Amino acid sequence: MAESIIVTYRLETAGDPEKVAVKIASDQSTGTFVALPGETPELKARVAAQVLAVRPLPSVDEPGFGRSHPGLAEISTFRRAEADIAFPVEAVGTDLAALMTIAIGGVYSIKEFSGIRVTRLKLPASFAGAHPGPQFGIEGSRRLSGVYDRPIIGTIVKPALGLRPHETAAMVKELVEAGVDFIKDDEKLMSPAYSSLEDRVRAIMPIILDAEQRTGRKVMYAFGISAADPDTMLRNHDIVADAGGNAAVININSVGMGGLAFLRKRSRLALHAHRNGWDILTRNAALGMDFSVYEMFWRLLGIDQFQINGIRAKYWEPDESFVRSFHALQRPIFSDSDRPLPVVCSGQWGGQAPDTYAATGGSIDHLYLCGGGVVSHPDGPAAGVRAVRQAWDAAVAGIALDDYARDHPELARSIETFGGGEGA
């Protein structure tokens, strides 16, 4: 077979899964069973998608769209299967928008399905040189932060705090002096009237650069630069980079693949992906796609750091989903250099460190990002930084947090504040 892209779909249908798998292959490649003027069997065979395998799964009594879906109310059993379909690269090319349109975007409209989910994507070698991938990734993020032997510890400046630039700078100064490795703007903090990006950069970067001069260590600060207009986003990028910054938060679903591709070609910053809006694509288990498929597009386009929630996250995503996402980012697509840094986040504080360490197979290759778990520490943000560091020291050493906290007051206060079950 010629070089192909292989996509795996989990299907739910009232009909025959093998027949509807053939319909996917036909609709999303040659488009019709009827011969068109000028069409030749040879050309059709070259560009047609092929069903490689259909594996039955247990049937279900309820459709993925619910009983109200037109035409399904009288059906009692829905058949499920997993289908592998190969799309020739000759027909699709290596453009990621074409791949999304042909192999993923169009399948959801096929009427024979009560549910369809994209669960795997295997790309051929021709994609390796077609996209830039991460500029910094895991190794570059460690080099920029100067942290090599433990997780990078970070926190967030929340817009709900209503901080003006000079107030944000005061918090940053405290965090920097406490030894934090990474600070980021919340994804909703871009350039509001009370704290424009330019004013925020002007207030914060002198503090970071002054600390670098004194200590030789430069804290990473990821400023929110997202914008629908790529030229505006690039201007925002330049404000940060020209001031000596080294990172930026990108709301990837908001700026789109084209916006990220435009920025990545010109970027001097580590690009930190926030995936807000991702839940629309995955929360219904019968629809959308798995994270392991979704992340490949953004990774190839050049994301360096990727937020994936965490253990006992404050949002809907279960721990098992976080673990799958973590391991997906750890697997190279083509080489180790295309691996972004996983960002463990969402309601994190030191209390999840032992379980995170165990669930990820003892990995320390991630950014452990705590918002309230640092800035809401009862003794202040600096104590919050120390408490998270202490929790990770205990986790890696295999010491129970309560035992370690006896000699580490910041961790003890953190457990007292956040350990009641609701987290940070």
Count H helices, E strands: the chain?
Answer: 17, 12
Q: Is the pLDDT of residue 186 over 60?
A: yes
Q: Is the pLDDT of residue 53 over 60?
A: yes
Residues 5-19, mean pLDDT to the nearest whole number: 95
Write out the DSSP string of 111-177.
TTEEEEEEEEEE--GGGTTTS---SSHHHHHHHHHT--SSPEEEEEE-GGG---HHHHHHHHHHHHH
270 or 44, which is more confident: 270
Model pLDDT for residues 136-153, shown as the tens digit of each residue: 999 999 999 999 999 999
| Residue 38 confidence class, pLDDT cut points 50, 70, 90 | low
Q: Is the pLDDT of residue 68 over 60?
A: no
Residue 309 makes CB contacts below 8 A (sequence gap 6+) with 315, 317, 321, 322, 325, 344, 345, 346
Q: Is 329:340 a contact under the CB 8 Å cutoff?
A: yes
Q: Is 135:302 a contact under the CB 8 Å cutoff?
A: yes
Q: Is the pLDDT of residue 2 over 90?
A: no
User: What is the per-residue pLDDT for 40?
Assistant: 67
Which residues, in sequence order, are bridge partners of residue 5? 87
Residue 25 dihedral angles phi and psi, to the nearest 5°:
-60, -40
d(CA 373, CA 366): 17
Q: Is the pLDDT of residue 66 over 60?
A: no
Among 7-11, 284-288, 337-341, whose mean pLDDT is lowest? 284-288
| Residue 225 confidence class, pLDDT cut points 50, 70, 90 | very high
| Residue 70 confidence class, pLDDT cut points 50, 70, 90 | low
Helix or strand (DSSP H, E) at 369: strand 367-370
| Residue 33 confidence class, pLDDT cut points 50, 70, 90 | low
Among 66-75, 149-158, 192-201, 204-213, whose mean pLDDT is lowest? 66-75
Q: Is the pLDDT of residue 259 over 90?
A: yes
Model pLDDT for residues 318-331, shown as the tens digit of each residue: 999 999 999 999 99
User: What is the per-residue pLDDT for 209?
Assistant: 98
Helix or strand (DSSP H, E) at 251: strand 247-251
User: What is the per-residue pLDDT for 316?
Assistant: 94
User: What is the per-residue pLDDT for 37?
Assistant: 65
Residues 226-252, mean pLDDT to the nearest whole number: 98
For the chain, give the percent of residues with pLDDT over 70: 93
Q: Is the pLDDT of residue 64 over 80?
A: no
Q: Is the pLDDT of residue 229 over 60?
A: yes
d(CA 80, CA 209): 57
List of domains in the chain: 4-127 (3.30.70.150), 137-418 (3.20.20.110)
Among 151-165, 235-249, 270-284, whose mean pLDDT is lowest? 151-165
Q: Is the pLDDT of residue 67 over 90?
A: no
| Residue 156 confidence class, pLDDT cut points 50, 70, 90 | very high
Model pLDDT for residues 347-364, shown as the tens digit of each residue: 999 999 999 999 999 999
Q: Is the pLDDT of residue 155 over 60?
A: yes
Among 153-167, 221-235, 319-333, whose mean pLDDT is lowest? 153-167
Q: Is the pLDDT of residue 1 over 60?
A: no
For the chain, give the percent of residues with pLDDT over 90: 83
Q: Is 268:247 a contact under the CB 8 Å cutoff?
A: no
Q: Is the pLDDT of residue 130 over 70?
A: yes
Pairing relation of β-strands 152-157 and 113-122?
Answer: unpaired
Residue 223's SS3 state is strand
Q: Is the pLDDT of residue 57 over 90?
A: yes
Model pLDDT for residues 71-110, shown as the tens digit of each residue: 666 666 889 999 999 999 999 999 999 999 999 999 999 9
User: What is the per-residue pLDDT for 424?
Assistant: 77
Residue type (1 letter), 113: F
How high does pLDDT run on average in the chain?
93
Q: Is the pLDDT of residue 274 over 70?
A: yes
Q: Is 352:310 a contact under the CB 8 Å cutoff?
A: yes
